[in-house]
Amino acid sequence: MKKRLLILGAPGAGKGTQARNICELLDIPTFSTGAMLRSQMKAGTELGKKAKELIDRGELVPDSVISSLVGAELQSPRYREGFLADGYPRNLEQAHFLDQVLKNMGTHLDAVINLDVELEDVVGRLLKRAEIENRSDDTEPVIRRRLQVYKEQTEPLVRYYREAGLLINIDGNGSIDQVWDSIAAQLR
Ligand code: AMP
């Protein structure tokens, strides 16, 4: 059974929802750098304050900060049987770092699920969500910046993991249930 997984996809591709489904199916915890940063922000740490400034502008938090969070967190016994990383890695440097950390732990990734969506559809979805949730990182210019950062920095990971033989590409343009059926069919 595949137990060390990543989920990739543009902001608004529905990663969060599908990540919850996958974790339930495989009985593994999520590993989310976004959640780690939000807990730093909530606790009001220096790291959290700096991260908030960047997040509110749609920028990535520096790799050095993310690596120190990830390096420590992955040692936790809760991920011993597996995990689904959601929102990590965000660029090639982070992907190389993750490969190294897992190698040092004597393990490796089993698969990378890519939710493949039309980027223009995603803008519409995100704007709608912004209206409903009133999120400070979801104004139109910030959404456009996050998509640009995704395209420049995160999308190259699709090719990286395809070449590593790990990629499971999923058509993410359907309904939540349709997308889930395609993912589940690949994991069972
Ligand atoms: P997320 O919940 O994964 O969408 O993360 C929210 C925000 O936190 C992102 O828009 C980034 O600004 C920041 N962030 C989360 N994970 C990372 C990461 N792996 N590298 C850099 N920045 C990150």
Q: Which domain holds residue 84?
A: 4-187
Strand 111-116 and strand 4-9: pairing? parallel
- Best mutation site among 31, 55, 147, 149 for ligand 1 pocket (most ligand atoms within 8 Å of CB): 55
The pLDDT of 26-31, averaged and rounded, is 96
Structural domain count of the chain:
1
Q: Which CATH number characterizes residue 105's domain?
A: 3.40.50.300
Report yes or no on whether pTM surpasses 0.85.
yes
Residue 26 phi/psi, 5° resolution? -95, -5
Q: Check residue 120 and give its pLDDT.
A: 83
Q: Tens of pLDDT along 121-162? A: 888 888 888 788 776 667 888 999 999 999 999 999 999 999
CA distance 96 to 24: 28
- pLDDT of 127: 85
Cα 87 to ligand 1 centre (Å) = 6
